[in-house]
Amino acid sequence: MRKGEQTKEYILQKAAKLFNERGYYGASMSDIMAVTGMEKGGIYNHFKSKDDLAMQAYEYAVDLMRQEFAVAIKGKYHAVDRLQAVVAVFQRISTGSPLAGGCPVVNTAVHTNKTHPELQNCARQTMIEWQDFIRRLVELGIARQQLKPDTDAEMLITLLISTLEGAIMLTQLHQDDSYMGRAVTHLTNYLQSLAVTEH
């Protein structure tokens, strides 16, 4: 990787964390300069504007999540194991992995609601991508006769995402991991109940 590419990735890494913790409007260029240790001109050598940086920083954060999901399900064949791996990724979000500040999708959706349509649309598209990802895991599990044939994929998607995102919020709000722990226990038991045979 060339030095210019390394510098750009460094800026994205720092900016993604900052935007995730403070939101688009809560993170000023002065804040970005402070966390990167760079002057505004140096940052703008790599990005056209704060908007451009925010959009690329969001995509950087989402790519981190994509990598987490890919690694989590790698080598797992049974649908329940794969779905539990997805749960584990969300569980790690509450501890700051792979990015401090919580879920970048929900944070972006909340911070930009009716104020930044482009970022809001990015968050919506990513959530659709995650829903599609979980749907494929469920449909493949049914096709392989690992999950009960009457498993409702849409119900499962809604339950997983809303429970886990809510648990992330409660964990952060109260600084108490027990909220996530209870959510994971409930979802683990629920996923096990969907298996065709005891798993």
| pLDDT tens readout for residues 66-115 | 999 999 999 999 999 999 999 999 999 989 999 999 999 999 999 888 88
Residue range 142-154: mean pLDDT, rounded: 97
The answer to the question of residue 12 being in a domain is yes
The answer to the question of residue 186 being in a domain is yes
The answer to the question of residue 32 being in a domain is yes
Q: Which distant-in-sequence residues (6+ apart) come within 8 Å of 84 by Cβ?
A: 187, 188, 191
Helices 50-73 and 79-93 cross at an angle (nearest 10°) of 140
The answer to the question of residue 117 being in a domain is yes
Q: Do the beta carbons of residue 64 and residue 96 sit within 8 Å?
A: no
Q: Check residue 160 and give its pLDDT.
A: 98
Tell me the pLDDT band of 3, cut-offs 50, 70 and 90.
Answer: confident
Question: What is the count of structural domains for the chain?
Answer: 1
pLDDT tens-digit map of 14-71: 999 999 999 999 999 999 999 999 999 999 999 999 999 999 999 999 999 999 999 9
The answer to the question of residue 64 being in a domain is yes
Give the domain extent around 46.
3-193
Q: Which distant-in-sequence residues (6+ apart) come within 8 Å of 59 by Cβ?
A: 122
The answer to the question of residue 48 being in a domain is yes
Distance (Å, rounded) from C-alpha 23 to C-alpha 43? Answer: 19
**In whole angstroms, how far apart are CA 73 and each of 7, 23, 129?**
31, 30, 16
The answer to the question of residue 199 being in a domain is no
Distance (Å, rounded) from C-alpha 173 to C-alpha 181? Answer: 15
Can you name the residues that pair with 147 across neighbouring β-strands?
195
Q: Nearest CA to 46 among 77, 7, 20?
A: 7
What CATH number is attached to the domain comprising 184?
Answer: 1.10.357.10
Q: Check residue 30 and give its pLDDT.
A: 96
pTM: 0.93
Q: Check residue 159 and give its pLDDT.
A: 97
